[in-house]
Amino acid sequence: MIYSRITGTGSYLPEKVLTNRDLEKIVETSDEWIRERTGIAQRHVVADDESTCDLAEQAARRAMEMAGRRPEDIDLIIVGTTTPDQVFPSTACLLQQRLGVHNGSPAFDVQAVCTGFVYALGVADQFIRAGSARCALVVGAETISRILDWNDRGTCVLFGDGAGAVVLEASDKPGVLSTHLHADGRYENLLSVPRGVGRGYKDMIAGEAYLQMKGNEVFKWAVNTLGRIVEETLEKHGLEQSQVDWLIPHQANIRIIQATARKLKLPMEKVVVTVENHGNTSAASVPMALDEAVRDGRIQPGQLVLMEAFGGGFTWGSALVYF
């Protein structure tokens, strides 16, 4: 039986740091207010000349270096992003060109907002299990700062930019045990950017091409949904919460992370948390947190890791992975 295993991780953050104190000069807020409600102290944002593909390239190269893989080894590239460089070609195709992957292998983007990396990982896992790929590069990369209304203190304090990546390879040993992907478009009005080129150029620039969120409703949905997706994942394999070595949740808000952990009776010592320094980086948050925990030695070979995310759409999903 063919499995897929994560053999390398990588991440990248833009150099520019925006602290809560910096935001106090932009919008009516305070460091205390942001920390208390979100757990965020700072976030990274791209410079004017940086793009999503720039961040993705750095994260991808670091993941490939850890895995010991060269461009000619990569036969599939999937990028989860909501903020592509261009309408087309896809960010994955642009990344393929940057990396020098010229073997004609498929490259495409997945748009599932904050669940984008988990969706992309699930698709890549299916490619490998089916024998259609042997070495995939899976990336979550975002420049969310570009779609924020910097006058809206309810959203601009929450988000940051960044990228995370993994190399996923075919193996005869279990790695990705399962992925679980879901969506329900009935709730699109609770978290969205309600403009786009499909409605016409004038509509796109009508002053509403930025992220809009009804925070209280999203919070309730996120906590309940993330609890259910974890239970669904563990039930499939007949596992108890205590058998999970690490939970890597989407880094949206410390209160959501804590509420999910309580619901699952998981101690926070088993939860990877990066939201304080990264903010919500959408599709990049899970792979960046994963990379940090791998590189600092928390995640060790033989451990069981559960990744989960929730995003606009609504979309939500999980991945259960042996390292």
Number of other CB atoms surrounding residue 142 within 10 Å: 32
Task: Look up residue 296 and give its two tokens.
Answer: 């600092």
Task: Report the relative pairing of strands 135-142 and 76-80 from DSSP bridges.
Answer: parallel
| Catalytic site includes residue 114 | yes
Query: Could you tell me which residues are beta bridge partners of residue 180?
Result: 318
| Catalytic site includes residue 280 | yes
Q: What is the DSSP string of 80-120?
A: E-SS-SSSSS-HHHHHHHHHT--S---EEEE--GGGHHHHH
Interatomic CA distance for residues 273 and 251, integer angstroms: 7
Q: Which of 93, 250, 253, 278 is catalytic?
A: 250
Task: Look up residue 121 and give its two tokens.
Answer: 């990982």
DSSP code of 67? H
- What lies within 8 Å, CB to CB, of 147 at 6+ separation is 82, 83, 193, 209, 210, 211
Sign of CA dihedral 75, 73, 180, 143: negative
Distance (Å) of CA 249 to CA 47, 98, 132, 157: 27, 30, 29, 19
Q: Which of 44, 93, 135, 280 is catalytic?
A: 280
Alpha helices in the chain (DSSP H): 20-24, 31-38, 52-67, 91-99, 116-129, 153-156, 201-204, 215-237, 254-263, 275-278, 285-295
Q: Are 75 and 105 within 8 A, CB to CB?
A: yes
Interatomic CA distance for residues 269 and 247, integer angstroms: 10
The residue with tokens 């990982």 is 121
Q: Which of 53, 93, 114, 135 is catalytic?
A: 114
Catalytic (active-site) positions:
114, 250, 280
